[in-house]
Chain A
Amino acid sequence: MDISSIFYAIITMGVLGFVFSAGLSIASKKLSVKEDPRITKIIDLLPGANCGACGYAGCAAMAEALVSGKAEPANCPVANSENLSKIAEILGLEVTEKERKVAVVLCQGDTNNQKKKAEYLGVQTCLAAHLVGGGPRACNWGCIGYGDCIRACPFDAIHMSENGLPVVDREKCTGCGKCVEACPRNIIELHPISRHVFVLCKNRDNPKLARSVCKTACISCGICERATGGKGFKVINNLAEVDYDLYTKEPVLPTDKCPTKCIVIVGNPGET
């Protein structure tokens, strides 16, 4: 074998490659399938995260469902309203303005507030800790603090605070609900962005027990219910709940009335 075979090799493969690619490009013209051009446009407008929050396998499947009329643009909880209205325009639909939902962590039991129950040396996930004795923190209802929600978030919108409590970035959060599914204690919920008043506790134990495990537990004293005349808060099964139908967007209750400070204003009023 001499050096010229290198050149022969290059030329041969080049020519072969060219011939085949030319053949294929002709074939792709001849055999092209007329796909609905709207599908590609819609795929571009969808977020492309393939998170599956709409219930379809991915953004491409969602786009096909949109074009065939099986889905509505509002089924995608992730895309911003600007892109959704563009999609609706392509499909010739009236867009219904839907309020953005964000995840809210309904617990304040970080390592400062929540008592420590035991040393936990098992698998470092909330799910595992929840299954074997509930992890190191004392409250059986609150945050375990191993960040399953953070790992579940496809948008990097949840971070762990210094004291071990997940914090939602309300601007980045798209409301896809992955963290809600991931949390074994169900302390993360999706709420419309206009809601700002929350009872940040899920503990339904009796007041004494609740208070003994966490400084910021709801002790179902009922002061919130009395202060609002029953129109805004209700204590049900040892836990205060906000009645968002009656509660207006403006907070009427001074949150400092709550003795354990578990009624909190989350986010800034007026954010969208």
Chain B
Amino acid sequence: MNLLLIFISAAVVNNYVLTYFLGLCPFVGVSKKIGPAVSMGLATTFVMTMTATVTWLIYHLILVPLKLEFLQIVSFILVIASLVQLVEMFVRKVSKPLYDALGIYLPLITTNCAILGLALFMVMKQYDFIEGIIFGFGAGAGFTLAIVIMAGIRTQLELADVPEPFKGAGITMITAGCLALAFMGFAGLI
């Protein structure tokens, strides 16, 4: 029950993109079409889950026993950067079209603040190992949910008659704001 609560909390109630406003760069950049958005969400979910796993291990098995907690940001960044490299190589190997579609946003997962934020939140909330993994997976699922909803809305917006000044980035930001308002409705869920 506790695990389910953590999952829903990370995915919906405290959605990283729409509640904490972390990771907006790929959220806006790769949400033009649903296909790449799903892939981006999956790649981010993978990186988030792996990050949660590896950073939990590093933090609790290496940094805490050696009293090196002050190294958490440095070592977490190291973990994230390596994982993103790995994902990048993997995507490039498996699917060149997907690699081209994700473009610059794939290596930019490295600097996606949602992922570093996830690792730091996980330490702050003092989750145990399993909880940490669920937390990471939930955060990734929430990111995927947000980016896919956004992509769906934006494909519809392509056909809409948007007033000239709002075209492009303007309407995207307004849509993101409305979505964030909608997600605030989940606040009383837990």
Contacts and interface: CB of A to CB of B under 8 A. Distances in A.
Given A13-B71, A17-B78, A24-B82, A33 B93 contact: yes
Contact of B82 (A9, A12, A23): A23
Interface string B66-105: 1110110011001100100110011011001000000000
B22 interface: no
A49 interface: no
A28 B85 CA distance: 9
Contact of A12 (B63, B89, B90, B92): B63
Interface of B: 58, 62-63, 66-68, 70-71, 74-75, 78-79, 82, 85-86, 89-90, 92-93, 96
Given A13-B74, A20-B79, A23-B82, A33 B68 contact: no
Nearest to A2: B67
A20 B74 CA distance: 13
B68 A5 contact: yes
Interface residues of A, number: 17
A1 B66 CA distance: 11
Interface in A3-36: 5, 8-9, 12-13, 16-17, 20-21, 23-24, 27-28, 31-33
Given A17-B78, A20-B78, A12 B68 contact: yes
Contacts of B75: 12-13, 16
Contacts, number: 47
B57 to A, nearest CB: 11
Given A5-B68, A16-B62, 13 more contacts: A8-B67, A9-B70, A9-B71, A12-B71, A13-B75, A16-B78, A20-B78, A20-B79, A20-B82, A27-B89, A28-B89, A31-B92, A32-B93
Contacts of B96: 33
A204 B71 CA distance: 73
24 contacts: A1-B67, A8-B66, A9-B68, A9-B70, A12-B62, A12-B68, A12-B71, A13-B75, A13-B78, A16-B62, A16-B78, A20-B82, A23-B82, A23-B86, A24-B82, A24-B86, A27-B86, A28-B89, A31-B90, A31-B92, A32-B89, A33-B92, A33-B93, A33-B96
A28 B67 CA distance: 34
A24 B86 CA distance: 7
Contacts of A23: 82, 86
A21 B82 CA distance: 8
Contacts of B93: 31-33
A16 B67 contact: no
A8 B68 contact: yes
Nearest to A11: B66
Contacts of A5: 66-68
Most chain-A CB neighbours within 10 Å: which of B62, B82, B90, B92?
B82
Given A12-B68, A13-B75, A31 B62 contact: no
Contacts of B62: 12, 16
The 3 closest A-B pairs by CB, nearest first: A20-B82, A31-B89, A31-B93
A9 B82 CA distance: 19
Most buried by B among A20, A28, A33: A20
A12 B67 contact: no
Nearest to B86: A27
A197 B14 CA distance: 74
